[in-house]
Amino acid sequence: MTILNKIIKADDAEPGYDTLIYGKSGTGKTTFFSTYPGPRLLIDCNEGGIESLRGTDTDTISCGSFEEVDTVITALEKQDFAYDSIALDTVSNIQQMCVSMYAKKYKKKDFSIKDWNIISQLMKDILYRFLDLPCISVLIAQERVFEPRETESNSAITIYPYRSAALQPALESAMTAAVDIVLRADAFVNNRSHVTEDSTGRRVPKELKTTCFRIQLRSDEYNIAKVRSARDAHVPFYQMDPSFNKLHFIITGEK
């Protein structure tokens, strides 16, 4: 048997589900992870998202430093694997842990370009190891917004705000390329009116406010997103009330 025996037809290849999901706090990122195949593990990195997982049969472990995250991933690499899906919540916080560790270790307050490159490489190393675990790996990140720039003459030029995961640019690009799926989580308030009766039986209008959650699956001029699917598959721009099963159907057409 040679390495060439691993060649298969593209139609027979299993789809990948390693995911990077980013968005503001409270947009349902951690809740979305709770719909991924179980058994599930969430590695909480000073994010405090465990409360949103109550009742979802998801295991959790908390890490307060970059060293603890590294120790957990090392332990997962060595164990007989027990999880189908694992999430890091959030990689933005892990990056800050890495910066704090580096500053403390080398007694630095100001970083050079070389220092930032070393920090970026430390992050890439640990995240690539995480993505190599034999399960679905999910990177949860906060959102960063690049506002429109101005020219040297201070006259505004037309450049749209640009949103992506809150990571160093080189790290964000590397993780976007490394995963199969990139999603932006979003939430908005839907206002609608209906007529009800008061205590006297009089019909009065009443406004209902509902918080709606959605994920963006395709890129536009504002946000990065990607879903790898069959060429003839229809990938909607948004998925309302998102879940892994809905995402799986979009990618494979299978329920």
Residue 10 lies in a domain: no
Q: Is the pLDDT of residue 226 over 50?
A: yes
CATH number of 27's domain: 3.40.50
Residue 198 lies in a domain: no
Nearest Cα neighbor of 221 from 159, 141, 145 is 159
Residue 116 lies in a domain: yes
Residue 8 lies in a domain: no
Residue 195 lies in a domain: no
Are 217 and 156 within 8 A, CB to CB? no
Residue 201 lies in a domain: no
User: What are residue 219's phi and psi, to 5 degrees?
Assistant: -70, 155
Considering the entire predicted model, what is its pTM?
0.86
Residue 207 lies in a domain: no
Q: What is the DSSP letter of 39?
A: S
Query: Which 3 state secondary structure label does DSSP give 20?
Result: strand
Q: Is the pLDDT of residue 6 over 90?
A: no
**Host domain of residue 29:** 15-187+215-252
The pLDDT of residue 19 is 97
Q: CA–CA distance from 1 to each of 5, 6, 9, 10, 129 (Å)?
A: 6, 9, 18, 21, 28
The pLDDT of residue 34 is 96
Say how far apart CA 143 and CA 166 lie, in whole Å. 5
What would the pLDDT profile of 133-176 be if each residue is shown by its tens digit?
A: 999 999 999 998 876 554 444 444 444 557 889 999 899 999 99
Domains in the chain, number: 1
Q: Is the pLDDT of residue 107 over 90?
A: yes
Residue 152 lies in a domain: yes
